[in-house]
Amino acid sequence: MNQKVQRILIYGNTIAASYTALALDVALDTSIDIVLVEPKASACNDILYGGIAPPNFYDFHFKLGVSEPDLLLKTNTGFSFGTEYKSWGPSLRNWIQCYHLPFATDHGVDFHQLVNRLDLNMGEYLVSAVAAKHGVFAHPPTNNSNNALSRAEYGYHFNAQRLKALLREKLNHRRVNVMQATIVDVKTGEQHIKEVRLDNGSVVNAQLFIDCHGPDSPLLTALAGEFEHQHAKQYIHHVEQNRVIGAACRVAQATSNGYQVEWSLQVERHVIELAEQFDVGSPKHAWAKSITVGHRNCAWHGNCIGIGHSVCVAEPLTDAPMRLLHADILRLMELFPIDVDMAVERKEFNRRYQNDVESSLLFHQAFFDYRTDGKTLATKLDRKISQYLHRGVLVSFDLELFNKEDWAVQHAGMGRTPMFHDRLVDELDLALVDEHFKQQKAGLRHLVSKMPTHADYLHKLLIYLRNKQF
């Protein structure tokens, strides 16, 4: 029988490292040692998670012992209904890429097909988009499906440093052994890491190493070299103080050589601007930091797994970075190796990782695909866009990171107009359907007119939570 995994070494001073340590602590038997080696320098790359966590982070946090009140009270977090894209693309499109439960069908006809047939603005019929647009927020009710707001989903806007601090604080009460040190040498053999030497002179060995350090990923690099796919970019990040929190959605807009994304927290506003390269000689060029966007072919080599930016740095245009991080950790939990022969787990982990990265790239690339006439099916993206432009078919592949609703909202937002419609639409009394949509639109407007602003809601919620604490 092969030796069991008895010690895990996690390396990094990042959100990814803290999430991974917490998740392993919750999931694994206490007989397994979890060592977190934390270099003093905090990774500045965490800002590239884009400050937005999708709705599944509520559950994820809950399972890790991180409650929503914790987040709100300790990390300056705000709520998020999604991202608003402003003046996007050559047609200067505006829409909110909102979070929403699966769309309802009408007599078996998909919602997006009806919207297309009636030439409606999809965002006016999605409660989270309407609420975000009007700057209002309230928790979606979970026990009243008749309330239109129950169809909304929400995520969070966060400050990466504060979020990491909260996660680290949680780790203080767990069995994770935290060592403040930097790895100065990685000893490898037979495609495995044998041990690492720290700057304090100690040597640590483990059966499994988890690299959460960031793009330079020293553990994985020692085994497999650098990212196979990389592209240099520049970014500027700045923070302004907020008196009042803004709307519950990020705002993304194109700039002359890239785009910028901004999001509002309780007391501050973050802006991150990405460009291929800022104009040489400009102040931005002087302030900009360089990053490498890209990914590895495989996230698991030998006995070393990469999580988060150690394997894939996705652009923060969408919430893909946090979706990928969540998927990385979920995959690790489901495939935590039984013993030191990790071949079976490694293969499956890498297959799923590749699928996740591919699906995040497809969604990102589609933001820059302005074709209006789709005929080719050569690639997966061609297939998705051509089929939609042809007759509004939402092509989906297995277990994508972005679901059909995400794609439907993006297609509509980008102004992709199918040439034909689903034939089942023509079975419906379109005048009646149109009337139903008008009522729905009026109902949503009425609903949001009664909702508090995001700022008021959060303000009162924080007072309530603080009072409850004491």
Partner 1 sequence: MEVCIVGGGTAGWMAASAMAKKFENQSINVTLVESEDIGTVGVGEATLPHIRFFNQALGIDEREFMKETRATFKLGIEFVDWGKIGQSYIHPFGDFGQSINNIDFYQAWLSQPSSRSNSDLSDYAFGTVAATQGKFQFPHSGQTRAQRSFGYAYQFDSGLYAKFLRRFAENLRVTRIEGKVVDTTIEPNSGNVTSLTLSNNRVVKADLFIDCSGFRGLLIEQALQTGYQDWSSWLPCNRAVAVPCERQDSIPPYTRATAQEAGWIWRIPLQHRTGNGHVYWSEFTSDQDALDTLIMQLDGKPTAEPKQLYFKTGRRNAFWKNNVIAIGLSAGFLEPLESTSIHLIQEGITELLALFPHENYAHIDGARVLQINELDSDEYNQRMALQFERIRDFLLLHYVANDRNDSEMWRYFNSMSLPGSLVEKLHLWKKRAYVQRYEHGTFLPPSWVAVLLGQNISPENCDPRCASISSDEFHRHAATIKKDIKNAVDAALPHEAFLRKFGAYYGEPV
Which residues sit at the interface with partner 1, rule CB under 8 A? 5, 26-31, 63, 108, 333-339, 344-345, 347-348, 374-375, 377, 383, 386-387, 390-391, 393, 395-399, 420, 422-424, 426-427
Query: Which one, of 124, 125, 131, lies nearest residue 154 by Cα?
Result: 131
- What are the distances in angstroms from CA 89 to CA 86, 116, 248, 346, 415? 9, 20, 23, 40, 10
Q: Would you say 279 or 429 has its CB closer to partner 1?
A: 429
Question: Closest separation between CB of residue 27 and partner 1, Å?
Answer: 5
Give 147 or 355: the residue with its C-beta nearer to partner 1: 355
Q: How far is the CB of 387 from partner 1 (least distance, A)?
A: 6
In the bound complex, what is the minimum distance in angstroms from residue 325's beta carbon to partner 1?
18
Nearer to partner 1, 29 or 190 (CB): 29
Nearer to partner 1, 41 or 343 (CB): 343
CB of 390 to partner 1, least distance (A): 5
Which of residues 108 and 189 has its CB atom nearest to partner 1 in the complex?
A: 108
Of the two residues 254 and 393, which places its CB atom closer to partner 1 in the complex?
Answer: 393
CB of 150 to partner 1, least distance (A): 21
Cα 253 to Cα 52: distance, rounded to the nearest angstrom: 16
Minimum distance, C-beta of residue 311 to partner 1, in the bound complex (Å): 21
Could you tell me the smallest distance in angstroms from the CB atom of residue 429 to partner 1? Answer: 9
94 vs 387 by CB, closer to partner 1: 387
Query: Whole-number minimum distance, CB 93 to partner 1, in Å?
Result: 24
Nearer of residues 29 and 119 to partner 1, judged by Cβ = 29
Tokens of 453: 């602003």
Q: Looking at beta carbons only, is 71 or 335 nearer to partner 1?
A: 335
CB of 19 to partner 1, least distance (A): 15
